[in-house]
Amino acid sequence: MRLLFIGDVIGRSGRAAIAEYVPRLRQQFALDFVVANGENAAGGFGITEAIAREFLDAGVDCVTLGNHAFDQREALVFIERAPQVLRPVNYPAGTPGRGAWLYETAKGERVLVMNVMGRVFMDALDDPFASVERELTACPLGQACDAIVLDIHAEASSEKQAMAHFCDGRVSLAIGTHTHVPTADARILPHGTAFQSDAGMTGDYDSVIGMDKEEPIRRFTRKTPGSRFEPANGPATLCGLFVETESDGLARRVAPVRIGGILGQALPEV
């Protein structure tokens, strides 16, 4: 199976990159399943139902979220009727939506996607390790599903790496999101799980992690409140990770994806 995970989509420029590149990538690399983190898609903060629909129409199969999951209040309502949109699985009981879902590809293959949020330098949610363990026990790779994608939305690289090793051999892909900078450590772990500490963002890199530069610089230099952060709207680089799995659901190949914008371009060789 061929999977593509797309890092945090930021604002209008990130959404434009999804619309432009996802249909092309699906065709060029015969992708079976595409996941995109969309928690910054609506002006940098949260997601709306209309934007989620844009992603699905472009060829994204599942949209994961994170700490900005409910910044747009309408998400509290529409997420209940949108199994293609996942908030972190370790939100407290009773939070709208779901943190894991089993999808079926056009070929009939079953893909479990999980979204979990870290706790280091983040809001204190339920134990992410226990939450992931519960989902893996309920839907083990190779028995109840053919592939598993885990979006680890966390600040600390150490926590993301620990989670990936915790899941090694039990998920197809453990991918870090949230810090908006693609790391150079894409690899297959010893027991067969593909991993990258952070997929990077899909947005304008002539920015401060996707936001127009002036206000972040002003806050760092003046230390006073100012105007609202606004997404940078230059050409976006779509950043993500391509994974090809074996018949057992573990990774055979992994390759960074960077297309468009100002970063060095990278595409898998197939």
Which sequence positions are flagged as catalytic? 68
Query: Strand, coil or helix: what is 33?
Result: strand
Number of Cβ atoms within 10 Å of the Cβ of 30: 10
Are the C-beta atoms of 240 and 7 separated by less than 8 Å?
yes
Element (H, E) at 251: strand 251-259
Q: At 56, list the tokens.
A: 């699905």
Of 145, 140, 111, the C-alpha closest to 31 is 111
Distances in whole angstroms, Cα of residue 15 to Cα of each of 29, 54, 55, 76, 222? 21, 8, 8, 21, 32
Of 127, 99, 131, 125, the C-alpha closest to 113 is 99
